[in-house]
Amino acid sequence: MDLRQLGEWKLIRRIKTSFPASRHGDLVLGLGDDAAVIRTRSDKSLLLTTDLLVEGVDFDLSLCSYKQIGYKALAVNLSDIAAMGGRPRYFLVSLAIPSRASVSFVDQLYQGMQGLAKQFKVALIGGDTSSSPRDLFLNLVVAGEIEPSKLVRRAGARIGDRIFVTGTLGDSRAGLEILKSQGASSKMQTNSKRAVKRGARSLPFAALIHRHLYPMPRLREGRLLATEGLASAMLDLSDGLASDLRRLCEASRVGALIDPAFLPISPSLTRYAGFKERKSSDYALKGGEDFELLFTVPPSRIARLIQLQQREHLKVTQIGVIRPRREGVSMLARNGEKKKLNLVGYEHFRRK
Amino acid sequence: MDLRQLGEWKLIRRIKTSFPASRHGDLVLGLGDDAAVIRTRSDKSLLLTTDLLVEGVDFDLSLCSYKQIGYKALAVNLSDIAAMGGRPRYFLVSLAIPSRASVSFVDQLYQGMQGLAKQFKVALIGGDTSSSPRDLFLNLVVAGEIEPSKLVRRAGARIGDRIFVTGTLGDSRAGLEILKSQGASSKMQTNSKRAVKRGARSLPFAALIHRHLYPMPRLREGRLLATEGLASAMLDLSDGLASDLRRLCEASRVGALIDPAFLPISPSLTRYAGFKERKSSDYALKGGEDFELLFTVPPSRIARLIQLQQREHLKVTQIGVIRPRREGVSMLARNGEKKKLNLVGYEHFRRK
C-alpha cells in the first residue's frame, strides 16, 4: 500500500497509535489539537532544539534504511539536549515524503524513533506531514528541561580549563566511507541491529558502520557533567572536532591547544586507518557525526571528574587545554611545534 | 551571489543579524548554542506547534515570491497559537534550499517573517539550514504561552453552543484560483504590499489574492475569546470549514448544524463568485487557508460576546449551533431540509 491509498488522516492516526499518549507528568495536550500544551515549572528552564535531515544531502537511501534515518533524526536532536546538560522530554516530527512511497517506509521511519524515544522517555507530542514532489525531508524538534543553575553553554571555557571528549572519535566518518565504498550491498547487512551484531564478527568493520548509523546521544554523560558542575562549556561533535572546537572557543573567546596523540581512537578505527594507510587522527579531527560531547573542565574540578569516571564508568578523555585567545586553536605537531588547526568541518552549500 | 559562494556559516550570521537578539523577558539563550533556553513560569503553560511548507505542494514559486512564503510560514504557525487562545513568544526556522539559489532569495524569505515577528513580538531563537537537491522546504515551530485556566481546546463544544467564525470565509481559495488562472503574470503585481494596495484599485480581485498570500493570524481575537472565557472549543480554519468543523465535532464528540445563508462572505468574493457563476458558499465551505478562527460559545456567554463585538470591534459571525453527535455534521439546504456536510478539505497524499 502506498501513501496515496492511505491518505494523510489515516497516516496521522497510524503514527498516533504507534506512539501511545504517554502519562508524561507535565503534558496537558499532546497530538491532536492546534498545538501541544505543556505545564511548566519555575524551577526548570525549557530547552528547544531542531535538526533537519534532507535526502541526498544528509542521507542516501541507497546506503541506509528508513529505520536508520528515523533513529538518527531523533538521536542528533537528543544529542543537542545532552550538550546543554539537559533532560529531553518531548519531540515534534515534520515529515515530507513522496506520495508514491510505501506506507511501510513511513512505519519504519517512526519505528527508528520508537526505541530511542522509549529509552530516553521522550514523548511525541506534535508534528506535520506533507507530500513531497521528490525528496524526503525530516525535521525534528526536541523540547527538554534543565535546572537554570545547571545549564552548560558553549561560552564558559576559561584559560587553563582542560579539554575533554566522551567516547571515541572518527568512527562515524570511517563508517560512512565504508558504506559508500560498499554501496547498496551493505544496506541489507546493516538493516537491523541484530544483523549489525552478527556483522561485528562477519563484516570486518561493522562496528564503524554501526557508529555512523546509530549514534548514541550522550545524555547520561551530559547530565552528569552538568549536575556535578564539572563542565564549564560543552557542545556535541556534529561537524568534526577541529570545526566544533573552534566553535566552542569562539563562543568562549579563548584559544585551545590539543595533542593529537591523546585523541581517543577505537580499535576498529585503528585497524581501518592502518588498512587504508591513513592517520586515524585525521578521522578523529575532521570526521563529523560522532555526536560525542566536547567539554571543558576547570582544574579545580578535575579530581571530582576522575572520581566519577571510575564510579560511574564515565568514558572521557583529556585531549588538550584552553589557552589565551591570541594563541588561536592549534594542535601539537610531532616535532613539538604548534600547528594551526584548520577549519575542516562539514558546511552546507559550499562546493566540495 | 548564490549560497555556494556565501556558505552556511555566513548565511546563519546573516540571519542572526536580521533578527537581533531581542530583550525578550524569559529568553536565557537564543541563536548560537546547541539549544535555545527559555525561563519558564509555573503560572503559564507552554504551547508548541509546527507547520511545514513544501515547494510544489504547499506553494508554487511561479505564483508567489520568497517573501510571501516566509510570511505565510510564520502566519500559519501563529494561527495555531491563536486557536488555543495563546500568546506566541518564540520561533525556530528549518530551511532546506538548493545551493544554486540566490542569497537574496533567502533574505526575502526571512524578510517575509520579520514584519509579522515584529508585529506580534515573537523572537527567532533557533533553527537549522541545509542545502536541498531540488525543492525548497520550510518548517517552522512556534512556542507560545497561555494561562492554564484560559486554554481553549478543540474538545469542549457542548450541545446548544453556538458556532461562530471570525472574518470572512472563502477569500483565500478564490485568491489562489485567480493566481493560478493568471499564472506568473500576477507574481510581479503582488510582490509587495504596496503593489497589492495599488492593485486593489487596478487589479479587479486583488483583495482576494492578498487574503491568500498574506493571511492574518487572528491572535487578538483568539486571545480575547480565551481570556474572556467565551469559547468552549476553537480551531483555525486551514483545510476548509466543512472539514475543520468536522474535526472540532469529532474532538468534542458532538454534531453540528450550520446555515450557509449566514456564512460571512466578503464583497470581493460575492463579486468574484457571481463573475464565475458559482455559489460563494462553495468557496466558504470548501476553501482552505482562510486561517480564520472557528469557535463555539455557550448560550450563557453570548451576551458578553455581543458586548465585546461592539466594544472591541471584534468581527465574528454566528453560523450555526452544536447538535447531538447522532445528528452528524450537517447544513440547512434551501428547502429547509438538513444535508450532510461532506468532507471536502485538503488532504495530503490523496490523488485529486
Binary contact (B349, A8; C-beta < 8 A) = yes
CATH of the domain at B84: 3.30.1330.10
Is B41 contained in some domain?
yes
Instruction: Look at B48 and A143 and tell me if their CB atoms are within 8 Å.
Output: yes
pTM: 0.89
- Return the percent helix, strand and coil in chain B, to nearest 5: 40, 25, 35
Please give the full DSSP string across A214-252, using - where no structure is assigned. Answer: SPPP-HHHHHHHHHTT--SEEEE-SS-HHHHHHHHHHHH
Question: pLDDT of B184-199, one tens digit each?
Answer: 554 444 444 544 444 4
Question: Does residue B28 sit in the same domain as residue B134?
Answer: yes
Q: Do A185 and A330 have their domain in common?
A: yes
- Pick the closest to residue B128 from B118, B119, B140, B114 (CA basis): B140
Q: State phi, psi for A340 to the nearest 5 degrees.
A: -60, 135
* Mean pLDDT calculated for residue range B263-279: 94
Residue B304: how many CA atoms within 13 Å on its side-chain side? 13
B9 and B107 together in one domain? yes
B61 vs A contacts (CB less than 8 Å): none
**Mean pLDDT, chain A cut into blocks of 10 residues (352 residues total):** 80 78 72 84 90 92 92 96 95 92 91 94 91 93 94 95 97 93 57 47 78 96 96 95 94 95 95 93 92 97 94 94 96 87 65 52
Residue A111, C-alpha cell as written in the block: 519505528
- Of the ranges A34-38, A66-70, B28-32, B307-311, which one carries the lowest mean pLDDT score? B28-32
> How many CB contacts within 8 angstroms connect chain A with chain B?
257
Residue B35 DSSP label? S
Say if residues A114 and A19 touch (Cβ distance below 8 Å).
yes
Enumerate the residues of chain B whose CB falls inside 8 A of the CB of residue A8: 347-350
Q: Which of A109, A314, A52, A68 is nearest to A212 (CA)?
A: A68
Closest in A83, A135, A151 to B135, CB measured: A135
Contact list in B for residue A49 (CB cut-off 8 A) is 34-36, 126
d(CA B209, CA B347) in angstroms, rounded, equals 22
> Which of A348, A350, A351 to substitute to test the interface with B, most B CBs within 10 Å?
A348
Please give the single-letter amino acid code of residue B261.
A
Q: Report the gap between the CA of A275 and the closest CA in chain B (Å).
A: 33
Task: Give the end of a domain, one of A86, A119, A150.
Answer: A150
| Overall size of chain A counted in residues | 352
Q: Give chain B's radius of gyration (CA, Å).
A: 21
- How far lies A37's CA from each of A24, A91, B87, B148, B185, in Å? 12, 12, 13, 9, 43
Does residue A90 sit in helix, strand or coil? strand
Residues spanned by the domain of B84 = 3-150
Mark whether A210 and A269 lie in a shared domain.
yes
**What residues of chain B lie within 8 A of the CB of A83, using their CB?**
34-35
- Does residue B303 form part of some domain? yes
Candidates A54, A131, A153; nearest CB to B29: A153
Whether residue B9 sits in one domain with residue B132: yes
Do A40 and B40 count as a contact with CB atoms less than 8 A apart?
yes
pLDDT in tens, B156-167: 999 999 999 999
| A136 lies in some domain | yes
Q: Is A344 helix (H, G, I), strand (E, B) or coil?
A: coil
Instruction: Choose among A45, A139, A351: nearest Cβ to B94.
Output: A139
* φ, ψ of residue B79 in degrees (nearest 5): -60, -35
Q: Which helix (H) or strand (E) holds A309?
A: helix A302-311
Q: Which among A39, A46, A134 has CB closest to B134?
A: A134
Indicate the pLDDT class of residue B326, thresholds 50, 70 and 90: very high
Q: Are the Cβ atoms of A92 and B146 closer than 8 angstroms? A: no
Pairing of strands B329-332, B293-297: unpaired
Is residue B350 in a domain? no
B179 found inside a domain:
yes
Residues B321 and B234 in one domain: yes
Same domain membership, residue B178 and residue B125: no
Contact A349 B3 (CB under 8 A): yes
Across the interface, whether the CB atoms of B347 and A8 are under 8 A apart is answered: yes
A235–B34: do the CB atoms touch at under 8 Å? yes
| Residue contact A92–B38, C-beta within 8 A | no
Asked if A57 and B131 come within 8 Å (Cβ–Cβ), the reply is: yes
Q: What is the CATH number of the domain that holds A270?
A: 3.90.650.10
Pick the residue of A15, A34, A147, A344 with the most B CBs within 10 A to test the interface with B by mutation: A34
CA A213 to chain centre: 11
Crossing angle of helices A206-213 and A267-276, in 10° steps, is: 110
Nearest to B126 among A8, A50, A144 (CB): A50
CB pair distance less than 8 Å for B83 and A3: no
Number of helices followed by number of strands (H, E) in chain B: 13, 13
Give how far B36 is from chain A: nearest CA, Å: 5
Same domain for B140 and B246, yes or no, is no
Res. B302: pLDDT tops 90: yes
Calculate how close chain B gets to A149, using CA atoms only, in Å. Answer: 11
The pLDDT of residue B335 is 84
Residue A352 lies in a domain: no
Same domain membership, residue A171 and residue A114 = no
Q: Which three cell numbers stand for residue A313?
A: 564508568
Query: Is residue A345 domain-resident?
Result: no
Question: Do A185 and A332 sit in the same domain of this protein?
Answer: yes
Optimal mutation site among A6, A9, A139, interface B, most CBs of chain B within 10 A: A139
Task: Point out the residue among A92, A146, A151 whose CB comes nearest to the CB of B141.
Answer: A92
Quick one: pLDDT at residue A352? 47
Q: Which three cell numbers stand for residue A271?
A: 585497524
Strand order in the sheet with B45-54: A27-29, A36-39, B45-54, B137-146, B87-97, B123-131
Cell numbers for A170, please give them. 572518527
Q: Considering only CB atoms, which chain A residues are within 8 Å of B86?
A: 35
- DSSP, res A161: P
Quickly state the pLDDT bin for B347 (edges 50, 70, 90).
Answer: low
Q: Please give the distance of CA B140 from its chain centroid, rounded to a whole number.
A: 13
**Would B348 be classed as within a structural domain?**
no
Q: What is the pLDDT of residue B281?
A: 92
Per DSSP bridges, beta strands B36-39 and A45-54 are: antiparallel
Task: Please provide the DSSP assignment of B105-157 as one string.
Answer: HHHHHHHHHHHHHHHTT-EEEEEEEEE-SS--EEEEEEEEEE-GGG---STT-
Q: Are residues A106 and A22 in the same domain?
A: yes
Residue A347: its pLDDT value, please? 64
B234, closest residue in chain A (CA to CA): A34
Q: What's the CA gap between B82 and B236, in Å, rounded?
A: 8
Q: Number of folded domains in chain B?
A: 2
Please indicate whether, in this complex, the C-beta atoms of A154 and B8 are within 8 angstroms of each other. Answer: no
Question: CA-nearest residue of chain A to B103?
Answer: A349
Q: What is the ipTM of this complex?
A: 0.87
B345 phi, psi to nearest 5 deg: -75, 175
Q: Which residue of A has its CA nearest to B137?
A: A137
Chain A residues inside the 8 Å CB shell of B125: 48
Do both B272 and B333 map to the same domain?
yes
Ordered DSSP codes for B211-247: HHHS----HHHHHHHHHTT--SEEEE-SS-HHHHHHH
- The torsion angle over the Cα atoms of residues B92, B98, B102 and B107, rounded to 10 degrees, is -10
Which long-range contacts link B105-111 to residues 24+ away (Cβ below 8 Å)?
B105/B66, B106/B3, B106/B11, B106/B14, B106/B15, B106/B66, B107/B14, B107/B18, B108/B65, B108/B66, B108/B67, B108/B70, B109/B66, B109/B67, B109/B69, B109/B70, B109/B138, B110/B15, B110/B18, B110/B19, B110/B70, B111/B18, B111/B67, B111/B70
pLDDT of residue A203: 65
| Closest chain B C-alpha to A215 CA, distance in angstroms | 17
* Cβ pair A40:B46 closer than 8 A: yes
**Rounded percentage of chain A residues whose pLDDT exceeds 70:** 89
Nearest to A42 among B11, B28, B41 (CB): B41
| Range with the poorest average pLDDT among A147-151, A289-293, B35-39, B87-91 | B35-39
Of B130, B150, B170, the last residue of a domain is B150
From B93, B115, B150, the end of a domain falls on B150
